[in-house]
């Protein structure tokens, strides 16, 4: 059973999507429509901008979404998933690709999500850190022992968990986790504490937008970050998507569940190969590939 997975923030690079724009009239149409919906020329930044411009959350998130969903669209008949999933932002890409919502609504949600998250980050300085080489339970216990906001945010693969919270609490957690044997406790160059209680203002803002967006039954189950289980009910999909901003991304559990449910190969749709690498951490022999559009 083949699964299609969609990357999140961090996979961006200058030039992303340019090959699609130049080789497909359909891609050009969708990119141009995106410029109109967003009210700025995102294609110019994606194709010819600077790393600094592309790193801005309000640009990064729509850019990755566009690269992913346009590529999925161009696959046409070849795009036949038995299951889909997306890492954080990638969940919205997966929902559009699996026909749970349309392109325009998906892009508007991504843009609102990015702006709401950026606003929450500016309201309270916060950060994230990658912890390598400890059991999840050890990291969770240390986070729980700290007086301040610090939580497990991204369960990326066994032995790799990202924590999220206030700067002081993250610093204290990194120190304690290093003391108990973490191979690395590395603060990440991100704008704030994604997937933590500090994103509550953004969650509340996004909840309204999600509630007023039409969701349909997807063409296959979507394994959502909040539950790590396959979901097809539109109302459940909405609830999980709203919860996602303040809840952890259970990517390790998602991969394990997809494999348990019969997934034997994965196609990554969008920039980079991060998700393929995470599946390989679960099983080195697992079949992975990048989606490719050929004219």
Torsion of CA 12, 15, 19, 25, to 10 degrees: 90
**Please, are residues 150 and 171 in contact by the beta-carbon 8 Å criterion?**
no
Q: pLDDT tens for the chain, 295 residues: list them.
A: 999 999 998 889 999 999 999 999 999 999 999 999 999 999 999 999 999 899 888 899 999 999 999 999 999 999 999 999 999 999 999 999 999 999 999 999 999 999 999 898 888 889 999 999 999 999 999 999 999 999 999 999 999 999 999 999 999 999 999 999 999 999 987 778 999 999 999 999 999 999 999 999 999 999 999 999 999 999 999 999 999 999 999 999 999 999 999 999 999 999 999 999 999 999 889 999 999 987 6
In the chain, what are the domains?
A: 2-122+197-290 (3.40.366.10), 125-187 (3.30.70.250)
Q: In 10 A of CB 104, how many CB atoms? A: 14
Of 30, 31, 50, 29, which is closest to residue 41 (Cα–Cα)?
A: 31
Cβ burial of 148 (10 Å; 0-12, 13-18, 19+) is middle
Starting at the edge strand that comes first in sequence, how are the strands of the sheet with 160-166 ordered?
A: 150-157, 160-166, 126-132, 184-187
- Active-site residue set: 88, 195
Token pair of 78 as six digits? 């070849």
End-to-end Cα separation, the chain, in angstroms = 26
Token pair of 63 as six digits? 């850019």
**Please, are residues 180 and 142 in contact by the beta-carbon 8 Å criterion?**
yes
């Amino acid at each position: 059973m083949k699964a299609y997975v969609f990357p999140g923030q961090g996979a961006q690079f200058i030039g992303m999507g340019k090959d699609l724009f130049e080789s497909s009239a359909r891609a050009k149409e969708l990119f141009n429509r995106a410029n109109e919906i967003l009210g700025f020329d995102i294609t110019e930044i994606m194709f010819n901008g600077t790393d600094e411009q592309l790193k801005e959350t309000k640009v990064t998130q729509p850019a990755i979404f566009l690269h992913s969903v346009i590529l999925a669209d161009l696959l046409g008949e070849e795009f036949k998933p038995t299951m889909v999933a997306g890492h954080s932002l990638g969940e919205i890409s997966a929902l559009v690709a699996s026909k749970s919502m349309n392109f325009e609504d998906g892009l508007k949600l991504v843009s609102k999500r990015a702006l709401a998250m950026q606003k929450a980050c500016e309201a309270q300085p916060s950060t994230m850190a990658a912890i390598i080489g400890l059991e999840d339970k050890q990291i969770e216990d240390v986070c729980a022992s700290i007086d301040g906001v610090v939580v497990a945010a991204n369960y990326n693969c066994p032995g790799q968990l990202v924590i999220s919270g206030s700067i002081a609490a993250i610093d204290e957690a990194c120190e304690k986790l290093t003391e108990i044997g973490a191979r690395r406790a590395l603060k990440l160059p991100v704008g704030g504490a994604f997937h933590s209680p500090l994103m509550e203002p953004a969650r509340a803002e996004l909840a309204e937008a999600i509630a007023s967006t039409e969701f349909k039954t997807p063409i296959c189950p979507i394994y959502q970050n909040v539950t790590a289980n396959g979901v097809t009910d539109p109302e459940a999909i909405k609830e999980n998507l709203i919860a996602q901003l303040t809840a952890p991304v259970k990517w390790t559990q998602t991969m394990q569940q997809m494999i348990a449910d019969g997934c034997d190969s994965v196609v990554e749709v969008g920039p980079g190969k991060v998700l393929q690498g995470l599946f390989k951490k679960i099983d080195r022999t697992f079949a992975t590939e990048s989606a490719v559009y050929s004219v």
